[in-house]
Amino acid sequence: MAGEQIGLSGELIGRASAVAIKAHKSSSGKPYICEKSRSSSSEVIFGFTGTWDLGDWFTHKPFGEAKINLNLFPSLRTIGSNEAATVNQAFLQRFEAILTKTSLKNEVEKAAAEKQIVFTGHSSGAATAIFATLWFLESRNHIPPRCITFGSPLVGDKILTHAMNREHWSQYFTHFIMRYDIVPRISLTSLPSIEGELQPILHYYNPKSPFYASDSVGRTEEASLFVLKVMRNISLLTSRLACKFMGCTNFLLENVTNFIELSPYKPFGTYVFCTGNGKFVTVKNPDAILQILFYCLQLGSESEWDEVAQRSLKEHLIYEYELLKSVEVPSVAYLEHLVDLPLSTENMGESENFTISGALNDLGLSERAILCLRAAGELEKQKARNQIKINGNKTKIRDVLNMLERYQASCEVRKIGYYDAFKMQKHTEDFQNNIRRLELAGIWDEIIEMLKRNELPDEFEGQKEWIEIGTRYRRLVEPLDIANYYRHLKNEDTGSYMGKGRPSRYIYIQKWREHVEKMEAEPVPESCFWAEVEELCISTCNTQFSGDVRERVYRLEINVSLWARNELLGKDVFLNESSFVQWWKRLPIQHRLVSCIRDLFHE
């Protein structure tokens, strides 16, 4: 069956669409319904109702966007730069209100103890289902849920898409889209451009409105104008994106976008385009999905505008009918290897090519559209090639770290200490290891810059092997950076190392580990131990041992006790000639006698 080829059973797709449409048409006033009547079923389905006032779709101009609530959705951010995802504020607020004012949380948790949870919805109810799924995924205590939506508007930006891929959550989302349905495209246009026409369209989709599915709305000139305005906005957005990932610059387009704001929203998950002839076309690449949303709804000649506009409105209301017709038909095309998409259907001998070619034709994609899809695929492949390139540095990084560990051991034998020996730079090997420090900095800075430019796969920040290498690098090399910083008295010009001197490569690497291991953020991590010692040496020299200085010393000692117990500080730190030991011994004796680390020293 087609449903099973998508990764969902035809039965589940049918049940989800029935629940979604039932919730859409519900007159109970409850914001969701729960379908759990089948004892033999392995799923419990929650379907969310939609909302139809303009303020339920756009809270403000131009796109109704806001930063997501990281207390509720802590994973939906970039890890290194800690930038929260941008989402549709109205849809987010709708879900938050349901979560706090209804029994949804208790019902979901009770059902999840026995069965898999499926969240579903149609139209703006689908947007609520998406946030419900994200909320449930954040708990990580149950079998992962499924989210199946029908005609869903877009809800979040590229950071949301990035986080979904990094957490491997995109696989749980399947979005069914009718080829001409205008609703999934509404978020890609600004409110000011469609404000006058949008509310009547929302009445058209509102089952409680006298204008529901009414020809008096669907066949009006305003409806055609609404569709035309939406598509013009999408044209500008997708053209700019296509130019960007094709590597060309359209100066006219760039000048226009300086005056016209573009939508921040971006797809994620698996999109299943329903072509209207009983066939499905599935796509996962977010950039390709955006291009398809534009190119598969072309208005053609002016004489066709009204007909296409009417169809784009009506197709939002026929999902259940279309899916009942389609799920039993084994006809699914996967647009996966985008760079290999055929520009022509001539001279094809393989059945797979016929399937792909037929899918492209069924979506009405032009040669220009296919070129844009191929470019989106090439961008994805380039990210994969970049990953392979930096993976080639793993051996080199490990080899240099091994050399630095041998250097650290030799310093301990000399009774000097790793940090102090490097800071004094009295021997040839100190200089050689400074070269190695700079060599590794160059490698890691390149990786961080590629991350900032979005040139690596979204999954990179969560890859265990890179987190392990990065943590080892941070612990071994950051003390050398700190030594170099204070050796050259950069603190006198720039300020403290932790304040303004710490390179972003260490911040990123630290946050990767904290995120993956679900740790609280550490203001002073173990790799910055020596930076805090340097600042306290300065503070206790220039001021009396009281107030804030005393509190900082207490905090450092607690951390040192913990780090020493977990073997995160080398034994050389506690050598008698270590600058840390020499500083600590200058502290007031009354303090040292009761210090939690007094037993770590040999008087």
Helix (H) or strand (E) segment spanning residue 46: strand 43-48
pLDDT for 347: 45
Residue 272, beta-bridge partner list? 176, 282
| 282, 333 contact by CB (below 8 A) | yes
pLDDT value, residue 540: 84
Longest Cα–Cα distance of the chain, Å, equals 94
Rounded-to-integer distance, Cα 497 and Cα 528, Å: 9
Whole-number Å distance between alpha carbons of 482 and 470: 17
Burial code (b: 16+ CB inside 10 Å, e: under 16) for 127-141 equals bbbbbbbbbbbeeee
Q: With 0.85 as the threshold, say if the pTM is over it.
A: yes
Question: Looking at residue 343, what is its pLDDT?
Answer: 82
Q: What is the CA radius of gyration of the chain?
A: 29
User: What is the distance between the alpha carbons of residues 322 and 520, in angstroms, rounded to a whole number?
Assistant: 48
User: Are β-strands 280-283 and 270-274 bridged in parallel, bridged antiparallel, or unpaired?
Assistant: antiparallel
Alpha-carbon distance 207 to 187, whole Å?
A: 21
pLDDT of residue 38: 61
Identify the bridge partners of residue 146 per DSSP, sorted by sequence position.
118
**Contact (CB, 8 A) for 312 and 397:** no
Residue holding tokens 């844009």?
372
CA distance 411 to 406: 9
252 touches 246 (CB < 8 A): no
Pick from 502, 352, 472: which is nearest to 401 by CA? Answer: 472
Among 176, 132, 155, CA closest to 265:
155
Question: Tokens standing for 242?
Answer: 């296509």
Between strands 280-283 and 332-334, the pairing is parallel
Residue type, 443: I
Per the structure block, which two tokens stand in for 135?
A: 């909320």
Q: Concatenated DSSP letters for 402-462?
A: HHHHHHHHHHHHTTS-HHHHHHHT-SHHHHHHHHHHHHHHHHHHHHHHHHHTT-S-GGGGG
CA distances from 202 to 149, 155, 227, 240 (A): 18, 17, 13, 29
User: What span, in angstroms and rounded, lies between the C-alpha atoms of 64 and 558?
Assistant: 46
Which residues on neighbouring strands pair with residue 47, listed in sequence order? Answer: 33, 120
Q: Is 301 helix (H, G, I), strand (E, B) or coil?
A: coil
Give the pLDDT of residue 330.
59
Type of residue at 233: N
Predicted local distance difference test score (pLDDT) of residue 348: 46
How far is residue 174's CA from residue 98's CA, in Å, rounded to a whole number? 22
Which among 228, 252, 253 is positioned nearest to 240, based on CA atoms?
A: 253
pLDDT, averaged per 10 consecutive residues of the chain (603 residues), comes to: 72 93 90 81 93 94 95 94 96 97 95 93 98 94 91 97 96 96 96 92 94 86 90 90 73 61 95 89 96 87 76 93 72 90 62 73 91 94 96 96 94 88 92 96 96 94 94 97 96 93 96 91 93 92 77 93 92 90 91 90 63
For residue 177, list its beta bridge partners: 273
Copy the structure tokens of residue 417: 């200490």
Per-residue pLDDT at 431: 94
The residues carrying an active-site annotation are 123, 181, 316
d(CA 148, CA 165): 17
Tokens of 149: 């939506």
